[in-house]
């Protein structure tokens, strides 16, 4: 099956062509038009600007994905319908509806989080063993999801306020080191690690590990951001210690994410632990979660290739393929934005 995926949930205009056979998904093309440079000057995504850029780019991105794939015929379309920015989602959905009508193709509405989950199924040589515990971390979401099989999910924990990626953005803004915050903080943290080598734990800066001992699987990162704010406020020389602050902030977030994921995987006897979402590109999170899984669990560890961690349409096409196997299509006339869409 040849699947066209379309993703416009935030500030990336993306389209991809995937070929599915059995339980394998191969990506034939993956085109992403990023708006990062446009939104940098605002320190975050401006919805109205993002939507206008999607309108300008969507057709050329879809055409490019089709051309690069070498395929003239597609069998179905999958498109992100939520959650996300409403005005951005509308552009992708309306494009999918027109194409579905014009080409008489079946269409599938995809949950954005499910898309991130299925980034782990792209180009996989081995089947994933279920149940799987999935840590999904991005700018808008931080969740622990139990996946019992394809299309079978249960959310067992989520953030009560800021998502991890959002907290990174806000922390980076406090320190004036740029946008997006995740890569900026990671780069500064690496400077501190490189300089201090094996003495990195000797940092005198101590930030909280929020809700790490709460007894549940929920997260909270607004308090971590606030703690950083007050540490900076009382330190007259904080600008000279930015790498150290970034190291401690990143480590506090990683410690919390890893600890709760391991505990959740233990409780639900997960055979696989997966990492998904934009923050899954963070090197320390990838490294430390993999190490924890290997040392503390009898489970496999799966994470997507870096190119599939941030928002892209390849993951949407992959999720659409597995939905198509179950005939989970939506009439194009009924396709609409659903920002309250649950993962189920």
Same domain assignment for residues 137 and 222: yes
Q: Please give the pLDDT value at position 196.
A: 65
Confidence of residue 203 (pLDDT cuts 50, 70, 90): low
Q: Based on the domain organization, do 154 and 300 belong to the same domain?
A: yes
Residues spanned by the domain of 18: 2-123+308-334
Cα(280)–Cα(288) distance, rounded to whole angstroms?
A: 11
Distance in angstroms (rounded) separating the CA atoms of residues 85 and 279: 19
Which pTM does this prediction carry?
0.93
Q: Would 340 be classed as within a structural domain?
A: no
Shared-domain flag, residues 190 and 317:
no
> Could you give the number of structural domains in the chain?
2
70 lies in the same domain as 185? no
* CA 148/CA 82 separation, integer angstroms: 22
Decide the pairing of beta strands 76-82 and 107-111: parallel
The structure tokens listed for 124 are: 């996989």
Domain containing 106 — which CATH number?
3.30.420.40
Annotated binding residues for Fe cation, as ranges? Answer: 112, 116, 311
Both 84 and 140 in one domain: the answer is no
- Average pLDDT (160-179) is 95
- Tell me the residue length of the chain: 344
Q: Which residues are annotated as a binding site for substrate?
A: 136-140, 169, 182, 282
Find, among 285, 163, 181, 288, the residue nearest to 224 by Cα: 163
Q: Are residues 60 and 6 in the same domain?
A: yes
pLDDT greater than 80 at residue 200: no
Enumerate the β-bridge partners of residue 134.
Answer: 145, 274
pLDDT digits (tens, 9 = 90+) for 8-27: 999 999 999 999 999 899 99
Q: What pLDDT score was predicted for residue 279?
A: 96
pLDDT band for position 212 (50/70/90)?
very high
Residues 205 and 224 in one domain: yes
Give domain status of residue 341, yes or no: no
Let me know whether 322 and 290 are in one domain.
no
Residue 148 banded pLDDT, cuts 50, 70, 90: very high
- Which of 206-219 are b and which e, b meaning 16 or more Cβ less than 10 Å from the residue's Cβ? ebebbbeeeeebbb
**What is the C-alpha to C-alpha distance for residues 337 and 251, in angstroms, rounded to an integer?**
36
Determine the Cα angle at 343 with ends 308 and 121, to 5°. Answer: 30
- Are residues 195 and 283 both part of a single domain? yes
Residue 344 lies in a domain: no
> pLDDT-based confidence at 195, cuts 50/70/90?
confident
Residue 125 pLDDT grade (very low, low, confident, very high; cuts 50, 70, 90): confident
Q: Residues forming the annotated binding site?
A: 112, 116, 136-140, 169, 182, 282, 311
In this structure, is residue 343 part of a structural domain?
Answer: no
Indicate if 139 and 100 belong to the same structural domain: no
118 and 144 assigned to the same domain: no
Q: Mark whether 92 and 186 lie in a shared domain.
A: no
């Amino acid at each position: 099956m040849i699947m066209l995926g379309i993703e416009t949930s935030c500030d990336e205009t993306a389209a991809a062509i995937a070929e599915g056979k059995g339980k394998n998904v191969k990506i034939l093309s993956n085109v992403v038009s990023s708006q990062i440079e446009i939104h940098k000057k605002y320190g975050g995504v401006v919805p109205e600007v993002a939507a206008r850029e999607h309108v300008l780019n969507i057709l050329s991105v879809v055409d490019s994905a089709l051309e690069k794939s070498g395929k003239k015929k597609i069998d179905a379309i999958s498109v992100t319908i939520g959650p996300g920015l409403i005005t951005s989602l509308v552009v992708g959905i309306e494009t999918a509806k027109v194409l579905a009508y014009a080409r008489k193709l079946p269409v599938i509405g995809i949950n954005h989080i499910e898309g991130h989950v299925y980034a782990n199924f792209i180009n996989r040589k081995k089947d994933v063993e279920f149940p799987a515990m999935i840590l999904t971390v991005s700018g808008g979401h931080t969740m622990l999801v139990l996946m019992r099989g394809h299309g079978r999910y249960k959310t067992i924990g989520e953030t009560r306020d800021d998502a991890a990626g959002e907290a990174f953005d806000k922390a980076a803004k406090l320190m004036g080191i740029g946008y997006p915050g995740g890569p900026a903080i990671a780069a500064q943290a690496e400077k501190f690690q490189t300089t201090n080598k094996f003495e990195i734990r000797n940092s005198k800066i101590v930030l909280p590990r929020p809700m790490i001992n709460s007894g549940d699987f929920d997260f909270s990162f607004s308090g971590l951001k606030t703690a950083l704010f007050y540490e900076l406020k009382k330190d007259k020389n904080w600008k000279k210690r930015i790498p150290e602050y970034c190291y401690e902030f990143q480590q506090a977030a990683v410690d919390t994410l890893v600890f709760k994921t391991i505990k959740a995987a233990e409780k639900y006897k997960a055979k696989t632990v997966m990492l998904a979402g934009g923050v899954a590109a963070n090197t320390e999170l990838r490294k430390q979660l993999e190490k924890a899984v290997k040392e503390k669990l009898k489970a496999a560890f799966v994470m997507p290739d870096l190119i599939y961690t941030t928002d892209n349409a390849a993951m949407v096409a992959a999720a659409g393929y597995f939905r198509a196997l179950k005939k989970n299509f939506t009439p194009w006339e009924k396709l609409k934005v659903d920002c309250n869409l649950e993962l189920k």
